[in-house]
Every structure is written in structure tokens, then in C-alpha cells.
């Protein structure tokens, strides 16, 4: 028998929190479910599989991307199966191929960006963002105890999808990280990067650092923190790293998500055009 909670929004929040979903995921699920229920124009206990299919078909006809469709699908399945306890089979696949390739910087553009940042701590933040392929939130929540500087790796804890993963610490950044920890007398429980007021940096701070450096270097691309993660993955592929290695370092659940970097990497072409031998 289906269960119908009094407050759907609160029921979704509680169940997501119990499963340790991130606040961002909780908000996304709540918004997707709200739009779905509004589309059906039905009371929650009357909603069925046909309503789900009709809604997803409507989104598809409006030109929603495969990734967006997948998010709506997962949110609605969560509602139907985990909140309303309706056992309906929703085995629908969507292409996750992006309509546009992600923006990446060349290695020279990355170098110019770093050199334009005067503040050494800010520079280290942006260099580690690129050098380890971290998401902005992962960088800002990084604690000293998650770093193994001797072995050259660290751990992201409770990353996207509430998962842990390993990341590489670039050799060139180790001395800078060690110096920062010593100068600021950081303990193992401390965050690696804190402001002068001992508070956490926020994502907007990262965005401003990158935006200012982009203006100084006259980079015409719309650079943001995630651009550096895209660039990290692309440059790994160009260096010959396997798709599996890149997938593991990025923490992607599906290899399909990582495959996009095969298209952003500059191909190595060893074949010469016949015109060059004329």
C-alpha cells in the first residue's frame, strides 16, 4: 500500500538527509519533484507510472538535455519508490552526451593564469584546483588530516554522491602546502585554506580570484573554477592517461561521463598529408 506523507517537501528532505545526500542534491530533488507534481495536477496519492512517463516525455519534447532528464528521472523515482513506496519499474536510459563540449584552457593559459595571481595562498588554491582536478567545494572542504604529503596523495571525503575518492598531490605543490601549514600553524582538523579571519572561503571567492586573473592575462574564455577541473582531465588524456585512470581521479560513476575529454584533448596526428610530399 502506498504511503502518503502530509508534507512531501519535508518528507523528501528527511529521507535525503537520512541517506546523507548533499544539501545541493536535496534542493535539486525537491525542485524536480515540485515541478512534476505541478505538471500532473493530481493529488499525490493518485499519481502513477503514466504520469511519470508523460512528464518525462514533455521535458524531452521541450529539448531538455540527457543529463537534465536523468536528474528529473532520479528525483521522481526517489519520490515514487522511497517516499510514496510505490513499486513501479522506471528503467529509462538517457544519453549523457553533452550538447556542447566543456571549456578547457591550454597548459600555457593555465600557467599564465597562475602567474597573474599575486597572493601566494590564492595562487596555491587555484593551482591545487587544477593540479588535483578538484571540484571547488572539494578544495574548500579539504582538511589537513586528509593529506598524505609523503606519498603524494589525499582523500576527498563525502564528495559528489556522498563518495570518498583519492586524488594526486602534485610534486611541485608539496613544498608550498607544507610551508602554508607551518606558517599558519594548522592542526590536522583544520581546513587547508581559511581566510585571514579564520573562516572558510566560499566558492564566490574562488570565482573572483579566477575572474581577476583572467582579466589580467586577457584570456577571452569564460573561465570558472570547474574549467580548471575540465582542463586537468583533458591534459591527462593528452599525456596518455587511460580513460579508467582519469575516471578514477575525477570520481565519475560512469565512464560515459569521462569520455567527453577524449573530444576536448588535442589529438596526436602522426599521418602526413600527401600534399606535403609533392
Catalytic residue positions, numbered? 135, 160, 226, 229, 252, 261
Beta strands in the chain (DSSP E): 147-148, 153-156, 165-168
Calculate the alpha carbon distances from 45 to 34, 40, 56, 80 in Å. 15, 11, 19, 10
Residues 6+ apart with CB under 8 A from 84: 2, 3, 4, 44, 47
Segment (H or E) for 216 = helix 203-217
- The C-alpha angle 230, 142, 117, rounded to 5 degrees, equals 60
In whole angstroms, give the CA distance from residue 149 to residue 264: 31
Cell numbers 578544495 correspond to what residue? 139
Amino acid at each position: 500500500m502506498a504511503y502518503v506523507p502530509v508534507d512531501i517537501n519535508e518528507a523528501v528532505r528527511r529521507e535525503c538527509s537520512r541517506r546523507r545526500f548533499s544539501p545541493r542534491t536535496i534542493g535539486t530533488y525537491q525542485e524536480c519533484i515540485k515541478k512534476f507534481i505541478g505538471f500532473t495536477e493530481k493529488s499525490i496519492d493518485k499519481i502513477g507510472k503514466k504520469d511519470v512517463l508523460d512528464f518525462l516525455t514533455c521535458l524531452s519534447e521541450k529539448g531538455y538535455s540527457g543529463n537534465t532528464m536523468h536528474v528529473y528521472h532520479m528525483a521522481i523515482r526517489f519520490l515514487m519508490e522511497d517516499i510514496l513506496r510505490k513499486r513501479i519499474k522506471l528503467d529509462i536510459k538517457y544519453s549523457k552526451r553533452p550538447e556542447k563540449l566543456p571549456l578547457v584552457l591550454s597548459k600555457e593559459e593555465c600557467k599564465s593564469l597562475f602567474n597573474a595571481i599575486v597572493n601566494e595562498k590564492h595562487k596555491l588554491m587555484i593551482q591545487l584546483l587544477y593540479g588535483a582536478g578538484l571540484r571547488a567545494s572539494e578544495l574548500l572542504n579539504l582538511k589537513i588530516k586528509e593529506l598524505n604529503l609523503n606519498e603524494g596523495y589525499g582523500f576527498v571525503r563525502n564528495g559528489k554522491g556522498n563518495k570518498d575518492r583519492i586524488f594526486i598531490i602534485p610534486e611541485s605543490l608539496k613544498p608550498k602546502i607544507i610551508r602554508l601549514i607551518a606558517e599558519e600553524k594548522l592542526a590536522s582538523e583544520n581546513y587547508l585554506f581559511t581566510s585571514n579571519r579564520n573562516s572558510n572561503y566560499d566558492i564566490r571567492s574562488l570565482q573572483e580570484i579566477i575572474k581577476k586573473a583572467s582579466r589580467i592575462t586577457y584570456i577571452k574564455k569564460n573561465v570558472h573554477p570547474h574549467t580548471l577541473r575540465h582542463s586537468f582531465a583533458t591534459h591527462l588524456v593528452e599525456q596518455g592517461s587511460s580513460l579508467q585512470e582519469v575516471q578514477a581521479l575525477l570520481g565519475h560513476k560512469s565512464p560515459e561521463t569521462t569520455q567527453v575529454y577524449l573530444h576536448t584533448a588535442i589529438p596526436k596526428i602522426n599521418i602526413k598529408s600527401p600534399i606535403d610530399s609533392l
